[in-house]
Amino acid sequence: MNGWHETNHDYPGLDVMCGHLVYIANPPVPANPPYACQECLQEGTTWVELRRCLVCGHDGCCDSSPRRHATGHFRQTGHPVMADQSGGDDWAWCYIDELALSPGDE
């Protein structure tokens, strides 16, 4: 599939499933521009961390950033799954199912 699974699979007994893994692009779509929030660049604002849309590759700033462009991208497009793009953490989030996702072979 695409290499992502629900984090709760790491905990036996929890069987909540994300119904949106099928929307994740395989192979991943590259961001344009990479490692930057395009909306923040256009507005002249700054971001704290970045989130990459796993459907289309859009990089947007996180909810700790003043403008929250990643969540805005979800609301505008309906693309449900964003991944951490700032490095150090390897996780994703499904806005619709409100589930954390982990990379790996599932």
Any idea what the CATH number is for the domain that residue 49 is in?
3.30.40.10
Q: How many domains does the chain have?
A: 1
Structure token pair of residue 22: 């099928």
> Using DSSP, how many helices (H) and how many strands (E) does the chain show?
2, 6
Query: Rounded distance, CA 56 to CA 45, Å?
Result: 23
Cα 41 to chain center, whole Å? 19
Give the domain range for residue 71.
4-103
At 42 the pLDDT is 96
At 26 the pLDDT is 87
At 12 the pLDDT is 55
> What is the identity of the amino acid at 50?
L
Task: Please check whether residue 43 is in contact with residue 13, taking contact to mean a CB–CB distance below 8 angstroms.
Answer: no
At 106 the pLDDT is 45
Name residue, tokens 């950033």: 65
Tens place of pLDDT per residue across the chain (106 aa)? 567 777 755 555 555 678 898 899 888 888 878 889 999 999 999 999 999 999 999 999 999 999 999 999 999 999 999 999 877 678 999 999 988 898 875 4
Predicted TM-score (pTM) of this structure: 0.85
Task: Please check whether residue 50 is in contact with residue 71, taking contact to mean a CB–CB distance below 8 angstroms.
Answer: no
